[in-house]
């Protein structure tokens, strides 16, 4: 079945990231066990291991169980699986046209490629439900399997509300205009590479074009409130923490930021969101509280939603 070139690039990029993560874990593990000076080694259960980094967010509470559990959480954001699901749940063009799910086309009867269903209230609610389930699984893994405290792992009570607000204001003021300005140049860049216009994210298209007020309200709530909380807990709070525990802060920041960017299923947003994710990692490390990247992420999305609804914004 034919695949859109932009989606194929995202899929290949995701595969490269996973190979990089696997190689990085092996490389860091070998280095810590065999090449780290013995004077710098600590002992865990009779086995010598390298001491964990103490700067930034603490990661000593993450274990091998988290490392093996992490891919199961990230499967939901896989480009490959979402493309497969899109093909499985797509309809033939003629059937989709008759059902009113796609616009009428003169040559629709001659087309055989499947057409994915339009974004709907039901699909958004299903996506929200899956995301909430993922967070419940992470909390279960931390609170019950690992016998750890969620407040401690994510730094929920590490800093006061006023300081959180200050961090968020500063972070949003710096990151938001830079990412938005960078995003404006992406359509022209990738149109030149692929030789055709590249579609925006499905959520952005729906928010811009939908005539349903209820659907737009749900999209706004998801973008401004639900997504920042879910994505920061998954990518910064859990994914970055686990990767930092078994590799290093710099490596973990780059690979988790790349996963965050590709998970948004848009090649137009790939570079801007990669830079934005690195910035969120920096603020998470500096503040040591997940509330800060959540707040910055939320403000960023609010600004993007406002621009999209006003007809000015592009990829968010």
Q: What is the pLDDT of residues 264-301, one digit of tens each?
A: 988 888 999 999 999 999 999 999 999 999 999 999 99
pLDDT tens digits for 163-217? 999 999 999 999 999 999 988 888 888 887 777 777 777 778 878 877 788 888 9
The pTM assigned to this predicted structure is 0.83
| Tokens encoding 288 | 């040591």
Mean pLDDT of the chain: 81
Whether 258 is in a domain gets the answer: yes
Buried b or exposed e, range 141-170, using 16+ CB within 10 angstroms: bbeeebebeeeebbbeebbeeeebeebbee
Kindly give, in sequence order, each residue whose CB lies less than 8 Å from that of residue 40, ignoring residues fewer than 6 positions away. 50, 51
Whether 46 is in a domain gets the answer: no
Whether 99 is in a domain gets the answer: no
Whether 35 is in a domain gets the answer: no
- Residue at token pair 């190979």: 19
The pair phi, psi for residue 139, each rounded to 5°, is -65, -40
Which of 28-42, 102-116, 172-186 shows the lowest mean pLDDT across its residues?
A: 102-116
Where in the sequence is the domain holding 24, given as residue range(s)?
5-29+58-91+119-309
Whether 253 is in a domain gets the answer: yes
Whether 316 is in a domain gets the answer: no
DSSP calls for 83-135: HHHHHHT-EEHHHHHHTTSS---TTGGG--SEEPPPP-HHHHHHHHHHHHHHH
Which of 45-59, 100-114, 211-225 shows the lowest mean pLDDT across its residues?
A: 100-114
Q: Return the beta strands (E) in the chain as ranges.
A: 42-44, 47-49, 91-92, 114-115
Domain count, the chain: 1
Whether 42 is in a domain gets the answer: no
Whether 276 is in a domain gets the answer: yes
């Amino acid at each position: 079945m034919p695949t859109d070139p932009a989606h194929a690039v995202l899929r290949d990029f995701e595969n490269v990231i996973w190979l990089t993560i696997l190689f990085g874990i092996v490389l860091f593990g070998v280095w810590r066990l065999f090449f780290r000076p013995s004077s710098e080694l600590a002992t865990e259960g009779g086995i010598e291991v390298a001491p964990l980094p103490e700067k930034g967010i603490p990661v000593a509470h993450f274990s091998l169980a988290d490392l093996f559990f992490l891919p199961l959480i990230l499967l939901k954001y896989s480009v490959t699986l979402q493309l497969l699901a899109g093909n499985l749940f797509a309809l033939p063009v003629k059937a989709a046209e008759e059902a009113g799910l796609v616009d009428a086309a003169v040559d629709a009867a001659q087309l055989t490629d499947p057409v994915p269903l339009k974004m709907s209230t039901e699909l958004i609610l299903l996506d929200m439900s899956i995301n909430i389930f993922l967070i419940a699984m992470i909390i279960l893994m931390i609170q019950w399997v690992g016998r750890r405290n969620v407040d401690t792992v994510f730094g929920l009570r590490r800093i006061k509300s006023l300081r959180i607000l200050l961090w968020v204001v500063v972070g949003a003021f710096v990151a938001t205009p830079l990412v938005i300005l960078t995003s404006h140049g992406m359509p022209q860049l990738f149109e030149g590479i692929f030789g055709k216009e590249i579609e925006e994210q499905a959520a952005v298209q729906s928010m811009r074009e939908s005539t349903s007020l209820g659907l737009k309200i749900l999209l706004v709530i998801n973008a401004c409130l639900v997504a920042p909380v879910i994505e920061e807990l998954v990518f910064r709070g859990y994914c970055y923490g686990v990767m930092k525990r078994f590799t290093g802060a710099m490596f973990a920041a780059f690979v988790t930021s790349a996963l965050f960017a590709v998970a948004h299923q848009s090649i137009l947003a790939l570079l801007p969101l990669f830079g934005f994710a690195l910035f969120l990692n920096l603020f998470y490390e500096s503040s040591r509280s997940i509330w800060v990247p959540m707040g910055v992420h939320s403000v960023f999305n609010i600004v993007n939603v406002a621009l999209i609804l006003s007809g000015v914004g592009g990829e968010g």
